[in-house]
Amino acid sequence: MERLERCGRRLRAALAAGRGRRRPPWLLLAIVVLGSALKDGDLVPETPLQNKRNPLNVYFVKVAWAWTFWLLLPFITVTTYQFAKSKLLYGSMKSILTVLRRLSALLVGTAVWYVCTRVFMYIENLTGVCSTSGKVSEPRRLFDSKQECHQHNGIWNGFDISGHCFLLSYCALMIMEEVAVLEGLSIDQNSQLRVVINALFVSLCFLTMIWVFMFLSTALYFHDFSQKLIGALIGLSAWYGTYRSWYLKPFSPGLPLPNIPLSSKKYGYSR
């Protein structure tokens, strides 16, 4: 428990210094540009990460939204309720409604993930053609989708916007915004609730590190530069459009710190 507390304290200190939410968008764009330059220049060494079947890709990235959703769900629930209760902002029922309102950010995130990935698939199908290894004498077969092409052992060549760059950037930035609630949360050091919140917080931070690492892996080994850049820009736009624009308005899921503008957030997590 002491190690968990020390780890959580160091990560919270980074948030307090303001590094947690200012630099990541620019860092992600820099990774796309530099990673693509290294890839195009054949300067990237061969590693297991270039295999799409590597464990991090199969067990984490392929289900990135599920990991993000199910870790943020209890974190948002507990921290939002505790924040409203400790600051005496609302009564019990109003606090529960505030929790539900904040949890709707996960529904928004789910909608963003679903719509964007479907649009990416549509664009790839619309712009693609299928290359097969059939005999020259056989008539060329046309396929309407990537799935049909793969079912006939073909290779689909279309404009494949990087879903990894989109989703990993969006998930990482969303987590960083949500953990900002610790900047205004007061919990006794010896309470069980603090242990739970610390465990969730540290898990979310390590998950974010995995997302950024796999974002780097995607930039180094997969997709064309334009496909990665567009995917990352869409992820950044989804984050900015929600947490930096819509969530500032009354009829929205709201920010992690209720009724406190971003400019006035202070680090107040008791030790």
Q: Looking at the 3D structure of the chain, how many domains does it have?
A: 1
pLDDT in tens, 200-256: 999 999 999 999 999 999 999 999 999 999 999 999 999 999 999 999 998 899 988
Report the catalytic residues.
Answer: 164, 223
pLDDT of res. 116: 97
Q: Is residue 48 part of a domain?
A: no
pLDDT of res. 15: 62
Q: Is residue 134 part of a domain?
A: no
Q: Is residue 122 part of a domain?
A: yes
Structural domain containing residue 190 = 55-126+160-244
- In angstroms, the CA 80 to CA 76 distance is 6
Q: Is residue 41 part of a domain?
A: no
For the residues 163-173, what does the mean pLDDT come to?
A: 97
Residues 6+ apart with CB under 8 A from 109: 65, 68, 69, 170, 174
Strands (E), 66-142: 129-131
Q: Is residue 20 part of a domain?
A: no
pLDDT of res. 138: 47
86: phi then psi, degrees, rounded to nearest 5:
-70, -30
Q: Strand pairing partners for 129?
A: 157
Residues 6+ apart with CB under 8 A from 249: none
Shortest CA distance to 181 belongs to which of 78, 54, 263? Answer: 78
Residue 189: pLDDT above 80? no
Tokens encoding 25: 């968008």
Burial of 27 (0-12, 13-18, 19+ CB in 10 A): middle
Q: Is residue 78 part of a domain?
A: yes
